[in-house]
Amino acid sequence: MKTNHIVALHKLHGGNIRSLGCHVSPTPSVGAARIDRVVICKALTTALLLCLFIIPPFPNAIDMIINKAMSLVAPNIAKIGLVSSAEGQPATVAKSQSDALNKYNSALSHFKSVLSERRAQINSNEQLPNLPGQALYLARNNVISAYKDLTDALPSKIGRPNKFGIPPAYFDADNEPFIDEYIKLFKIMEAPRFNAQRSDTSFDDVVDLGTDIGRAKGLDPGNAGIAGRISLGLFFAETNGNQNIGNARSNTYKGSLQTGISEDQNGQRKWAAIRTSIAIFDPGLIARDAKEEASAGKLDHRFNHWTAVRDGLMNSHADLFPQIPAIVKSLPNPIDQMKLFELVQIIPGPTKVALNSGKFASQAISDPRIMGYLRNNSIFTFGQTDRAKMSATFREILNAMWLFNDKFERALSKFNEIQAQRKT
């Protein structure tokens, strides 16, 4: 018997000759016109037996047998489900892909609408609602989430890299102009108060304060410099490097390090306790501090750039500066070091416990409340897969802080620029 005739019967049955006659399932919609499965099975079986056990009297006999068997079923072959249940899945997959695309398009349309609404309100000097940035923030998050769900369903949608450093699976680079507008609107909505006291050396101030606080906490000059670098990273993480800003998403956190009133006051008390020790090795910085204190007077210290940074660092970060040598050994990447101290801002308790364990990266968080704080700060926030995460190690958390990467990279660049200028 010719091999190609066996293959013909094999293909006729969907590629599974072993189960010939066992998976022929009529489509319900065929109705009265559908062929009885027994008739089809008999026709196919008869054709196979003839090929196997009868020696054809002329060369084309096998072809005639195959053609005859095909003719028995051909008139209704399109109406019969000659497929296994697995072969019915593409329709389901296609629907999930279509749903994901529709949700993404809807989220993008809503984001554009909110951007347009805020821009129109600002341009017409209209009164903005309370927390005007919240709707924008949520709309942006929904776009990123919907795009991640779309690329999970359709990986081919993952496109080119974008200027914000967002992983391409989470963000379509064609939408960069909308994020540019998002940033511009926030800068307007979070503009400093009319009486805020700015500094012409805002970045240098942060580095100087962080470095001297590190020295006062017992660090050698090299590690104290790392404290200054980390401090600059915090400034970029909290305000994008903008001093004295308000907060379009919160009525509590304000200023250059985005602290609350109680946090600022706690920082003032801690600063008073180390001020004398700093005066010993850097009297110039203490003279500057006295000048800023006099200038601030009764003003909320969060709206004087110098005092806001000083008090913000002293509130919680300075207590961890003595651990910088161990942190650097555990996390040699400067960006990771900045991320760790940003986590002190977001989830201080669990971060400090993990640091004290001596195995920071492998320590895990599973408390739903803490996971909620992370999600509220753009960590495990985007897409169903990320949001379904019930626990995470600190290494996973650091990796998930990719939305901070651009800010920390700019902070690192600015720090290196400051250091280079001071060496010349």
Altogether, the residues listed in the chain come to a count of 424
Indicate the angle between helix axes 176-189 and 132-153, nearest 10 degrees.
Answer: 160
Q: What predicted TM-score, i.e. pTM, was given to this entire model?
A: 0.78
Indicate the pLDDT class of residue 424, thresholds 50, 70 and 90: confident
**Residue 46: pLDDT above 90?**
no
At residue 57, does pLDDT exceed 90?
no
Kind and range of the H or E element at 153? Answer: helix 132-153
Rounded to an integer, what distance in angstroms lies between the CA atom of residue 297 and that of residue 335?
Answer: 36
Average pLDDT over residues 48-72: 47
Kind and range of the H or E element at 232?
helix 221-239
pLDDT over 60 (residue 97): yes
Find the largest Cα–Cα distance for the chain: 115
pLDDT at 325 over 50: yes
pLDDT band at 102 (very low <50, low <70, confident <90, very high): very high
Contacts (Cβ under 8 Å, ≥6 apart) of 345: 234, 237, 238, 258, 316, 317
Domain boundaries, the chain: 3-83, 90-189, 202-423
> What is residue 95's predicted lDDT score, i.e. its pLDDT?
84
pLDDT of residue 270: 98
pLDDT at 94: 85
Six token digits for residue 272 = 């008073």
CA nearest neighbour of 44 among 78, 81, 77, 13: 13
Lowest mean pLDDT among 10-14, 253-257, 311-315: 10-14
Nearest Cα neighbor of 304 from 315, 289, 319 is 289
pLDDT of res. 18: 31
Q: Please name the helix (run of DSSP H) or strand (run of DSSP E) that holds residue 364, with its range, or none.
A: strand 364-365
**Contact indicator for 251, 302 with CB cutoff of 8 Å:** no
What pLDDT sits at residue 394?
Answer: 98
pLDDT-based confidence at 128, cuts 50/70/90? very high
Distance CA 296, CA 311 (A): 13
Q: Which residue did the predictor score with more confidence, 92 or 25? A: 92
CA atoms within 13 A on the CB side of 153: 21
Q: What is the mean pLDDT of residues 360-367?
A: 96
Residue found under tokens 């629907």? 95
Q: With contact defined as beta carbons under 8 Å apart, do 371 and 365 qualify?
A: yes
Instruction: Say yes or no to pLDDT of 211 above 70.
Output: yes
Question: Residue 87 is inside which H or E element, if any?
Answer: none
178, two tokens: 């909308």
